[in-house]
Structure 1
Amino acid sequence: MHPAPPRRLFAGHQLRALRRTHGLSQAQAAARLGISTSYLSQIENGDRPLTELVLAALGKAFPQDWRSIGEDAALAAAALAAATDAGIDGAVEPDPGLARALRQQPQLARRLVALHAAYQRVEAQVRVLDDRVQSGESAARQPWEAVRDWFHDAGNYVDALDRGAEALAARFPRGAPPNRAIAERLRARHRVTIERGDANGALRTYDPARRTLRLDRALPPESTAFQLAHQLARLELAETIDATVAGSGLDDPAARALLSVGLANYAAGALTMPYEAFREAARVERHDIDRLREDFGVSFEQACHRLSTLQRPGASGVPVFFCRVDMAGNITKRHSATPLQFARFGGACPLWIVHEAAAIPDRILVQRAETPDGVRYVIMAKGLVKPSGSFTRAPRRYAVTLGCEAAQARDFVYADALATGGGATPIGSSCRICPRLDCDQRAFPPAASTIAIDPDARGVVPYGFS
């Protein structure tokens, strides 16, 4: 008996809905998937089925949404992604034969997906251990680290809190400046008195007994709005914040307290940059941060951070990575919705343009970079200075960076500054886990490598390794 022919998957209406959810034209969606516009049109019209190769492309282009096309399609795309992971030696390009084998052996496909997930977990654990060795951190997680990991595991998106903040923002008078609207609600609904003055080094202090909120007079308008939004979120979204902390799985009281503060900060960003409005503006402005900050009255860093939270199921934004780096190279904020992952305790790759940006404030730098797994990114970085308001206190200097995969370059205005088809800077997460053999900027060899020393030869790096 001949095996039954594979069932062809026609899901044009679902693909069209997915495209429209993201506000993409057929040409833009086709570019993300690496197919022609006419081919995409035929799929959407039901004239052609979804092939395994298109499914794999959907999995990469829309990681949060493509599963809605169907369980079989989800398994096929996940198995293809595992089988073709460029970070594993011997990875192969997807082809119909591979896709057919995975489809004919669903149990094998599920096992492959499970093994790949386990491999990724082990890789993450090794990265953590290597970073700990480099930084001298103890084996126990610190409270701030536990909270950072919680947000990372949540995809940097908290649905109940995000929707609650969006609903709250919808009650503000249309067109009113955020700081004015939020301040008025604090006064009218919660009888909070707002004072400006010297906060003795604190940006914000709140006295619940007197219902008095005191803000540092040195805060710029966008930071003032954020601190007002933080206080309003703590008052009006307290139930949601408390429920999220209770279900977080964090046992350490300090970590739970830090998470509560972090969730209020998250809500403040969602309140000043409501999800749907901000996602649509980001699409229209092609992620031009300066335009977005003007549109919503927020800071450059706040807009970058908010872009990293656009992970709502069925309505996600372009997957980006975001981090903040201080003058010593320590990563103080980080999140990635892309394959790129950051060093957890500093020691980031010196070839990243963010380090140069930290030394050159108020100037946007752009870079095309490639990680060891062969994925290319378009990266924007800008150095920032936060004034202290006093000569006796040094201003805070740091840089923020935002990037997306090169496949999404059309949606990223900063890609316009790069030559089409140009070379890419080879970057990594940190020297301890970077496998590159020929990097002139290497600070030390990767963990568990074998060192080779030739006393008669001296390169830029005084050793070889394997």
Structure 2
Amino acid sequence: MASVPPRPRIFAGDRVRALRARLSLSQTGLSRRLGISTSYLSQIESGDRPITGGVLGALARAFPLDWVDVAPEDDSAALVGALEAGTDPSVPAALMNEDAILRGLKQQPLVTRRMTALHAALRRSQEQLRVLDDRVDASQPTLLPWEEVRDWFQGSGNYIDPLDRFAEGLAEQLPGTRSTATVLTERLRDAHGIAVVEDGSALRAYDAERATLRIDGAQPIETRHFQLAHQLIRLEADALIEGIVAAAPLRSDAARELLRVGLANYGAGALLLPYARFRSEARARRHDVDALRQRFGVSFEQVCHRLSTLQRPGAPGVPFFFCRIDMAGNITKRHSATRLQFAQYGGACPLWVAHEAVAISDRILVQVAEMPDGARYVSMAKGLVKATASYRRTPRRYAVVLGCEVEQAADFVYGDGLDVTGPDSATPIGPSCRICPRRDCDQRAFPPAGRDLLIDPDRRTIVPYAFE
């Protein structure tokens, strides 16, 4: 049997030092992020010691969007995937250490990549099982049109590359020295002969025959900007959108029409928040939503939504999940670039901070939450009130939630001051009661689907049943 050649030692002190300088971190700050001593980091940066597999893995996990830029030849994206596969606690096998995973990538790259692909397939099958469980007793035998479109976006990773790049290119063509409303209005007029009129008939009403676009002037300026951008994208990216719709495996005309609207909304967000510029600003501000909202002149919700879509190959953002929830607990928008997947039916977990936030407008709440698979997330939730133009129409109340896995908490300003690793610092939550396996939850509303109930008439606890 041929011997395995020794793994070459990696001396990359200059790249580590460049990364630290770019992030404005001291050696002490970076060493804490990596879990090594300051003296060890100093020796790495000076070239006296190589980067071990453990440190390389820590760099790839702690800085997935920065380390790939600094050291693309280390194939950090593959390393992160292999680390997730090798250290997933939900897989019933011994966990692999980071040195072993790194050796696998170097010595048996095809086997390691196959392991990573199988782990990704396992994740997808688990999600499909959750969806099937969640549809137990559902009245609809097939997906409704809006459900088809929702699942299409989720299956696309909530990132539509050709449309995103088109909107970014269009943004670069538009002058940046005047107000957004003026620039968009003039583009609609000069390029398409469309007059913009403000009235209160609808948020947006386009009359192609009269070449008129009516915008509700009572809405916040950020909403008006978005509606103008939506219309401009529908006109200028029409052929691109039609091509995407034609290739989508949707069953009904209603679903295809909803996808057209969804794609125009996606393009509007990408136009107002161009990918590279927004990603750079988000990183510099550690994803402070208020700071980004003011920088780009958009709404709080629009920033949260856009942050969850930054998944461009070669230039990813921090993987975030985003959702919007109403007063009844219905999730009306959902995107996730993390392992966290929302329930397709039913309400969200009552222990989630989103429910408290929806009743408290203009206050940001934070929470460290742990899912049944052991993954922890830092969640930020803020209640929003969308005003109406009349006393007779009730304002709409929502909460928007943005979160990331705790491994990314250092890049998320809302994680500051939170204990993300303490054994009792996280709130145990689940996707929804219908598919949550937790047996010790006092907030359980009903038992999970497909489980046999265990009833003891002589013993009563807060939840009046147990289950297998």
TM-score, normalising length from structure 2?
0.87
d(CA) in 1 for partners of 2:247, 2:331: 27
CA–CA distance in structure 2, aligned partners of residues 118 and 187 of structure 1: 49
Within 5 Å, which residues of 2 pair with 1:387-426? 387-416=387-416, 418=418, 423-426=425-428
Deviation at 1:18, TM superposition (A): 10
Structure 2 matches for 1:362-373, cutoff 5 A? 362-373=362-373
User: 2:57, 2:447 → 1: CA distance?
Assistant: 35
**In the alignment, which residue of structure 1 is the partner of 2:86?**
83
**Greater shift in the superposed pair: 137-146 or 28-37:** 28-37
**Structure 2 counterpart of 1:297:** 297
* Letter matched to residue 118 of structure 2: L
Aligned to 1:171: 173
Structure 1 vs Structure 2: percent identity of aligned residues? 57
TM-score, length basis structure 1: 0.88
Offset at residue 252 of structure 1 (A): 2.8
State how far apart, in whole Å, the 2-side matches of 1:71 and 1:414 are.
30
Q: Secondary structure at the match of 2:445?
A: coil
Give the CA deviation at 1:102: 7.7
Of residues 432, 438, 441, the one that matches 1:439 is 441
Amino acid at match of 1:94: N
Alpha-carbon distance, 1:177 to partner = 1.9
Match of 1:463 in 2: 465
CA distance in 2 between counterparts of 1:77 and 1:287 reads: 22
**Which residue of structure 2 lines up, in the alignment, with residue 319 of structure 1?**
319
CA distance in 2, matches of 1:101, 1:285: 36
Matches within 5 A, 1:55-454: 56-57=57-58, 60-61=61-62, 66=68, 69=72, 78-94=81-97, 96=99, 100=103, 108-133=111-136, 136-199=138-201, 202-416=202-416, 418=418, 423-454=425-456
Following the alignment from structure 1 to structure 2, what is the Cα–Cα distance between the partners of residues 412 and 4? 42
- Is this contact kept in 2: 1:195–1:214, CA < 8 A? yes
Distance 2:17 2:166 in 1: 25
**Are residues 97 and 276 of structure 1, via their aligned partners in 2, closer, same or farther at CA, if it must alter by over 3 Å?**
closer
Task: Quote the Cα distance in structure 2 between the aligned partners of 1:204 and 1:399.
Answer: 23
- Alpha-carbon distance in structure 2 between the residues aligned to 1:264 and 1:83: 39
Distance, in Å, in 2 between the alignment partners of 1:11 and 1:240 is 46
Q: Deviations for 1:271-307, whole angstroms, at most 9, x for unmatched residues? A: 1112222222222222221221111111111111111
Structure 2 counterpart SS, 1:319: coil
C-alpha offsets along residues 3-24 of structure 1, whole Å, 9 cap, x if unaligned? 2234336484996699599967
Consecutive unaligned residues of structure 1, counting only runs of 5 or more, are none
Q: Give the conservation status (yes or no) of the 8 Å contact 1:370–1:377.
A: yes
Contact 1:21 1:314 in 2 (8 A): no
Paired residue type of 1:462: P
Deviations 1:137-173 (A, max 9, x none): 5231222112112221222112222222122222233
Whether contact under 8 Å (1:52, 1:76) holds in the other structure is: no
- What letter corresponds to residue 190 of structure 1 in structure 2? H
Shift of 1:38: 6.3
What count of residue pairs does the alignment treat as equivalent? Answer: 463
Are 1:103 and 1:109, in contact at CA under 8 Å, matched by a contact in 2?
Answer: no
| Contact map agreement 1:372 1:428 (CA 8 A) in 2 | yes
2:303 partner SS: helix
Given the superposition, is the C-alpha separation of residues 133 and 21 from structure 1 closer, same or farther in structure 2, using an over 3 Å criterion?
farther
- The more displaced of 444-453 and 52-61 is 52-61
In structure 2, how many angstroms separate the alpha carbons of the residues matched to 1:172 and 1:95? Answer: 47
Cα deviation, residue 96, structure 1: 3.8
- Distance in 2 between the 1:312 and 1:388 partners? 36
* Distance in structure 2 (CA, Å) of the matches to 1:399 and 1:189: 38
Aligned partners of 2:305, 2:83: CA distance in 1, in Å? 31
Secondary structure in 1 aligned to 2:223? helix
Q: 1:280 to 1:345 in 2, by over 3 A?
A: same
- CA distance in structure 2 between the partners assigned to 1:411 and 1:72 by the alignment: 21
Q: Distance in 1 between matches of 2:83 and 2:43?
A: 23
Contact kept, 8 Å, 1:10 with 1:43, in 2: the verdict is no
Deviation, 1:195, is 1.0
* CA contact 2:293–2:300 (8 Å) conserved in 1: yes
The answer to whether the 8 Å contact 2:207/2:213 transfers is yes
Q: Distance in 2 between matches of 1:73 and 1:294?
A: 33
Name whichever of 27-36 and 119-128 sits farther off.
Answer: 27-36
The answer (yes or no) to whether the contact 2:292–2:303 under 8 Å persists in 1 is yes
Answer yes or no: is the 8 Å Cα contact 2:10–2:52 preserved in 1.
no
| Partner Cα distance (2:105, 2:170) in 1 | 47
For 1:221, give the aligned amino acid. Answer: I
Q: Kindly provide the CA deviation profile for residues 67-121 of structure 1, in whole angstroms up to 9, marking residues without a partner as x.
A: 9845987666544432321223445252545665786666654553343233222
CA distance in 1, matches of 2:319, 2:128: 23
**Conserved in 1, the CA contact under 8 Å of 2:364 and 2:381?**
yes
Question: Equivalent residue for 2:5?
Answer: 5
SS of alignment partner, residue 119 of structure 2? helix
Q: CA distance change for structure 1 residues 292 and 113 in 2, over 3 Å: closer, same or farther?
A: closer
